[in-house]
Amino acid sequence: MAEKKKREEVQLAPASTGSVMSMPSAIVAILVAFAMGALVGNVIGRNNDAAGEEIAMADRDGGRGRGEGGAGAAPSGDGSDQTRYRIEIADNMPQRGPDNALVTIVMWSDYQCPFCSRVEPTLTRITEQFRDQVRIIWRDQPLPFHQNATPAAEAAREAYAQGGDQKFWQMHDALFENQQNLTRETLDRLAGQVGLDMTRYRAAMDGHTHQAAIRADSEAGNRIGANGTPAFYINGRELMGAQPFEEFQRVINEEIAHANEMLRNGTPRAQLFQAIVRNGRTSAAPPPGEGAGAAQKAAPPARPQPDPRAVYRVPVGDSPQQGPADALVTVVIFSDYQCPFCTRVEPTLASLRESYGNDLRLVWKNNPLPFHSNAMPAAEAANEVFAQRGAAAFWQYHDILFENQQALAREDLERYAGQIQGIDMTRFRAALDNHTHQAAIEADQALARQLGASGTPSFFINGRNLRGAQPLEAFRTLVDEVLGQARERVSSGTPRARVYEATIADGATQPVMLPAPAGAAAPAAAQPAEDPNRVYQIPVSPNAPTQGPANAPVTIQIFSDFQCPFCSRVNPTIEQVMERYEGRVRLVWRDYPLPFHPNAMPAAQAAREIFQQRGAAAFWQYHAALFENQRELTRETLERLAGTIQGVNMEQFRAALDNNEHQAAVQADMDAVRAAGAQIGTPSFFINGRLLQGAQPIDAFTAAIDRALAEGPPARGARPAAPAPAH
C-alpha cells in the first residue's frame, strides 16, 4: 500500500486483562454462541446460537458462527495449509507498524469480547519481537449480543478521525482496560482522557457518524468467515481465536520467509502484501472454477438448528420465584453465579420486571458449569438462604453474589450470608459442609441438559427458549408475543393462575430441531457424532495405561491433553467415578494433544516414556504431576517431574524425548478416533463406545455408566484382542 499516508509510530501499551472473566473457551464456547461460542481444526466446530452463552463443553470452539473464540479456536492450517484470502486495505484503517512490513496481520475484533481482550498482550509481544517486520491493521466486528461494542467502536473511530493512529490506539487500549464498563458515560470519560475535541466527539457519537464504516468492516469480515472474534489474517492466512503467542509466531515466521523469497525474486517491498494475497479467496466458500465437487467438500455439514417456535414443558417446582404466581408470563432462568454472561443479563431481567410488573415472574434454576469452581458452592449457599428465609432473602443474596462475582470463595459466601437478616449461620455452614442442596442443584442441571440448555444463561419464556445474554429488545419481542397469547387464554376462560401450566402442558421435553434446509448435506451422514446412541468402535490399545480390572464390564477411554485446562478440571470427577464404580470400570488413557497447545505433545511423549519404563502406576503418578504443573510444561519441567518418579532412567528419558520415540504412538491414538468417524475436543470419553464430551459433572458420568452396566458387555471392538502386558 505504497500510496497510504505516512503514519505516526506508537508503542503498543498492554491491554489490562485483570477484569476479564475466566473462560473455556473455550469454547465454548465454546462453546458461545460456544457458547459460546468459534472454530475449526482438530477440534470439532459447532455453531453457537446462544449469544453470549457460556457452554459447558470444554476446549471446543464455538463454530464459525457469529460468536467469540477463546484459545480453543484452532488454526486453519498446520503449516502445509497455505489457503489465503484477498483482503483489501484502505487508508482509513488504523494500523501499527510500517506500510512496507513483511507481514500484515488484519484483525477483526470487538471491544466487549473477553477473548479479544485476552489476546491483546500477545499482540503486544508480536510488535515488540517482530518490530518493523509486522504491521497490525484493526477492523471492527462488534458482535450483536455485546450491547456496548458498537458504541465503543464508534468512539475509537472518532479518536482515529481526530488524531490518526496515535489517538486510535490510545482509545483502543483504554477501551480494553475498561471492558467491563463500556457505558456512554465511560466512553465520554475516556474520550476526554485521550484529549479529543469533546464537542466534535459528542456530535459523532450522537449522529452515529462512523456506523456505516463499522458496518462495512463487519460485512467484509462476514464474507471471508471472520464473523467470530477475534479473527486474524496473517498475510491472508486465517488464524481464529485468542491463540497463544507460539501459534502466531509459527505463522509469522513462515510468512517472513515467504516474503523474503518474493523480495529475492524481484517483488518491491512496498507491494509485498498485494502480491501475496492477489490470488487469494474473496469469500469463505471455494472460489469459482473449483467445481461443484470442491464446493460440496468445503461446505460445512448441515447441522440441525433449534426450532425457535417450540414450546417446552419446564416445571417451576419449588424453585425461587420473583413476581406473582399468577403472572401471565413465566421466565425460567438457568444460570450460573460465576458466568460473566449471566452477570451481564441481570440488568435486562430487572428491566423486564419493572416494565411488565405483575404480568411477569422470574423462576431461578441452577446450572453451575463444571469449569467454574465456585459456581456450585455459590448455588448451594443461595439455596440454603432460600430454605431458611424464603424468596425475598434468596433474591437479595442472589444480587450480592452477582455484584461480587469475582469473590465467591467459601469465606465470601459466609460473609454475604451474614448480611441477610435472620440467617442461622451454624445451619448455613452445616448445609455447605454437608452439600445439603447439591441433589436439588443437580436435578436442575439434569433438566437443563434434557431440554438442550447446557449453556448459561438460558431462558424459557412461557416455554419458549431464548439463549444467551441477549439484548433487551430480544426479550421484549418474545415476552410481548407470549403475553398476547396468554391474554387470549384468559379471554377464553383460563384462570390467570393456570395460564403457565396450560401453555406448557403439551410442551416438548427434549430439544426440537428444525429440518435441514433444502440442498444441505444429509444430516445423518454429516453428523454421526451428534447421535447420543452411536457406539464407536475404538479398540483399546494393548499399550495404553489403564486403571481398574481388565475384565470390568465398563471401559472408559479418555482422550485428553495435558495442557488442556478442562482436562485438568475433570480429573477430580474421574477420581470420583473410579471410587464409586470400583471393580466395575476400567479407565484407559489415550492421547489427544491439540495443535494449539505447544507443550501437549512433548508432555504426552514424556508420560509414555514413563509408562514404558515403569508401568501404569508410575504413569498415573506422572500424569498427576503434569496436570499439577499444567501451566509450565517446558522441557525442563518434564525432566524435573520425571526425576521424582522412582527408578526412571533419565538418560533414556531424555533420549526418548530428543528422538520423538513415542510420537507415532500418540498419533495412533488420534488416528483411532478419526478412523472410528468421531469428531472430538478434549476431554472426550468413550464409555463402552458411547461418546461423552467435555468436563461434565459427576451425574453425567453416572448416567452413562449406569446405562452401560444395564446393557451388558461393551460392543465388539471396544476391547483389545489381548490384555496389556504387565510392567
The CATH number assigned to the domain holding 652 equals: 3.40.30.10
Instruction: Specify the residue for cell string 419493572.
Output: 354
| Residue 56 near residue 455, CB atoms below 8 Å | yes
| Residue 545 near residue 619, CB atoms below 8 Å | yes
Of 241, 1, 205, nearest to 108 by C-alpha is: 241
Query: Looking at 504, 535, 558, which one is the last position of a domain?
Result: 504
Number of neighbouring beta carbons within 10 Å of residue 692: 18
Helix/strand/coil for 133: helix
Instruction: Specify the residue for cell string 500510496.
Output: 3
As given in the structure block, the three cell numbers for residue 38 are 468459534
Is the four-CA dihedral 219, 222, 226, 232 of positive or negative sign?
negative
The H or E element containing residue 130 is helix 114-130
The pLDDT value recorded for residue 305 is 66
Number of neighbouring beta carbons within 10 Å of residue 428: 22
| Residue 499 near residue 292, CB atoms below 8 Å | no
For 75-156, where are the E strands, in sequence order? Answer: 95-96, 103-109, 134-140
| Residue 66 near residue 144, CB atoms below 8 Å | yes
CA pair distance 217, 220, nearest whole angstrom: 5
Of 466, 470, 471, 441, nearest to 332 by C-alpha is: 466
Taken as a whole, the chain contains a residue count of 727
Q: Both 172 and 251 in a single domain?
A: yes
CA pair distance 417, 645, nearest whole angstrom: 46
Helix/strand/coil for 659: coil
CA pair distance 666, 601, nearest whole angstrom: 8
Domain membership of residue 289 (yes or no) is no
Which alpha helices (H) appear in 492-631, and where do they start and end?
A: 499-504, 523-526, 565-580, 600-628
Residues 6+ apart with CB under 8 A from 612: 656, 662
- Residue 577: HSE in the Cβ half-sphere, 13 Å Cα cutoff: 27
The order of strands in the sheet holding 458-461 is: 321-322, 360-366, 329-335, 458-461, 464-467
Q: Both 428 and 552 in a single domain?
A: no
Domain membership of residue 130 (yes or no) is yes
Helix/strand/coil for 56: coil
CA pair distance 415, 530, nearest whole angstrom: 44
Q: Both 259 and 376 in a single domain?
A: no
According to DSSP, residue 132 is labeled: G
CA pair distance 245, 120, nearest whole angstrom: 10
CA pair distance 539, 633, nearest whole angstrom: 30
Domain membership of residue 603 (yes or no) is yes
The H or E element containing residue 460 is strand 458-461
Walking along the chain (727 residues) 10 residues at a time, the average pLDDT comes out as: 34 33 36 34 32 50 44 37 80 90 96 90 91 95 86 96 94 93 93 95 92 89 87 93 89 93 90 90 59 41 69 95 97 94 92 96 93 90 97 97 94 97 97 94 90 90 92 91 96 96 93 64 39 83 92 95 87 92 95 84 96 95 93 93 96 94 91 84 91 82 91 55 35
Domain membership of residue 87 (yes or no) is no
Q: Both 497 and 597 in a single domain?
A: no
Q: Both 451 and 334 in a single domain?
A: yes
As given in the structure block, the three cell numbers for residue 134 are 509486522
CA pair distance 162, 151, nearest whole angstrom: 17
Of 152, 149, 141, 143, nearest to 52 by C-alpha is: 143
DSSP secondary structure of 224-255: HT--SBSEEEETTEEEESS--HHHHHHHHHHH
CA pair distance 589, 372, nearest whole angstrom: 25
The pLDDT value recorded for residue 530 is 45
Domain containing 471: what range? 321-504
Q: Is 644 exposed, middle or buried (0-12, 13-18, 19+ CB in 10 A)?
A: exposed
Of 669, 668, 613, 672, nearest to 643 by C-alpha is: 613
The pLDDT value recorded for residue 532 is 65
Q: Both 252 and 328 in a single domain?
A: no
| Residue 206 near residue 224, CB atoms below 8 Å | no
Q: Both 353 and 460 in a single domain?
A: yes
The H or E element containing residue 364 is strand 360-366
Strand partners, 74: 40
Domain membership of residue 623 (yes or no) is yes
Domain membership of residue 364 (yes or no) is yes
CA pair distance 125, 122, nearest whole angstrom: 5
Q: Both 223 and 129 in a single domain?
A: yes
Q: Both 500 and 550 in a single domain?
A: no
What string of H, E and C letters represents the secondary structure of 538-554? Answer: CCCCCCCCEECCCCCCE
The pLDDT value recorded for residue 723 is 36
Q: Is the peptide bond before 457 cis (omega within 30 degrees of 0)?
A: yes
Domain membership of residue 257 (yes or no) is yes
Q: Tell me how many domains the chain contains.
A: 3
Q: Both 448 and 588 in a single domain?
A: no
For 155-281, where are the E strands, in sequence order? Answer: 231-234, 237-240
Helix/strand/coil for 289: coil
Of 381, 371, 303, 317, nearest to 339 by C-alpha is: 371
CA pair distance 653, 636, nearest whole angstrom: 12
CA pair distance 673, 87, nearest whole angstrom: 36
Helix/strand/coil for 716: coil
CA pair distance 102, 258, nearest whole angstrom: 9
Q: Both 366 and 422 in a single domain?
A: yes
Q: How far is CA 52 from CA 66, 110, 142, 228, in A?
A: 10, 13, 12, 12
Helix/strand/coil for 143: coil
Helix/strand/coil for 138: strand
CA pair distance 142, 145, nearest whole angstrom: 9
According to DSSP, residue 681 is labeled: -
Backbone angles phi, psi at 547, to 5 degrees: -130, 145
As given in the structure block, the three cell numbers for residue 646 are 522412582
| Residue 67 near residue 228, CB atoms below 8 Å | yes
The pLDDT value recorded for residue 199 is 94
Domain membership of residue 55 (yes or no) is no
Number of neighbouring beta carbons within 10 Å of residue 300: 14
Q: Euclidean distance between the first and final Cα of the chain, in Å?
A: 64
The pLDDT value recorded for residue 147 is 81
| Residue 503 near residue 462, CB atoms below 8 Å | yes
Longest dimension (CA), the chain: 84
Residues 6+ apart with CB under 8 A from 427: 384, 388
CA angle 400, 405, 411 (to 5 degrees): 75
Strand partners, 590: 559
The pLDDT value recorded for residue 714 is 57
As given in the structure block, the three cell numbers for residue 22 are 475466566
Query: Looking at 238, 257, 274, which one is the last position of a domain?
Result: 274
Q: Both 623 and 692 in a single domain?
A: yes
